[in-house]
Amino acid sequence: MTIVTIPGGWIDLRPLTGHDERSLSGVSVFDMVALIDRLALDRPGVMLVAGQAVNLTSAARDRVLACIYTQSYGDLIRSSRLCAACGNHYDLSFKLSDLLKGYAMAAPPAEGIYQTVDGARFRLPTGIDELAVIGLAPHAARRALLKRCTVTEDADPDQIEAAMEAVAPLLSTELQAICPECATAELMDFDMGTYLLRRLLNDQERLPNEVHMLAMAYGWSHDNILDLTRAERRRYMALIEASLRQSRARPISGARRRLA
Ligand SMILES: [Zn+2]
């Protein structure tokens, strides 16, 4: 169990199991909300239980997704790059904890209503706001989202957006990657939720093979194997792989003895 503290309260997340990994189907806001709903435990005092993740502000949701990432993969974010200038493959990595330090969220004011320096009032967008504008073109969606969250009439949307970013930055940024071969710099988009779900979807492809190996080795049912947390499944997989290496090594040493 992992407690995640976010402005306004805390939630408790259980670790991911094979069932959760299997349930993933995309990288949209729907998928991010659904994942948090699956993992949020009903405890006395929690700020949300299953079915309420859509009410989280987008910035708070990013922090929860960052926590799921850390729980599943550790602190390191890694990306393989292909240099457009020289064709060199290289890795770009950074610590998620370092990124989070630079993106602190301000404590929410009463009723969740913030104010710009000019006195315009606004609230932070939530999953509900994002889902409401999902069919619109990016520019129109951005405007509609700001309009939904602005309390003061005729407020400047750009000013509201800048104020939102200042009090509750999203874990979404452009990072500069520099090719170690030719020193060409390129910009890489990073978005916490998309990155987490892409990585999990990537792992999902390995799931049938892991289920197969565990079923063969222990005779467990499909459901029992998917009930295991990722960490448990990985530990059993490591044991199976070690046994396979041993059984492969044995006939070779036997053959050597016969030759001698
Ligand atoms: Zn290069």
pLDDT for 110: 83
Write out the two tokens for 25: 């189907």
* Statement: the pTM of the whole predicted model exceeds 0.85: yes
Q: How many angstroms does the Cα of residue 91 sit away from the middle of ligand 1?
A: 12
What pLDDT, on a 0 to 100 scale, did the predictor assign at position 257? 53
Is residue 19 within 8 Å of residue 34, measured between CB atoms?
A: no
Give per-residue pLDDT as tens, 46-95. Answer: 999 889 999 999 999 999 999 999 999 999 999 899 999 999 999 989 99
The rounded Å distance from CA 89 to ligand 1 centre is 8
Could you report the per-residue pLDDT of 145-155, keeping only the tens digit for each? Answer: 999 999 998 89
pLDDT averaged over every residue in the chain:
92
Residue 114, class by beta-carbon neighbours within 10 Å (0-12 exposed, 13-18 middle, 19+ buried)?
buried
- CB atoms within 5 A of ion ligand 1 belong to 83, 85-86, 88, 179, 181-182, 184
Distance 190 CA to ligand 1 centre (A): 20
* CA distance linking residue 11 with residue 31, whole number of Å: 18
pLDDT at 247: 87
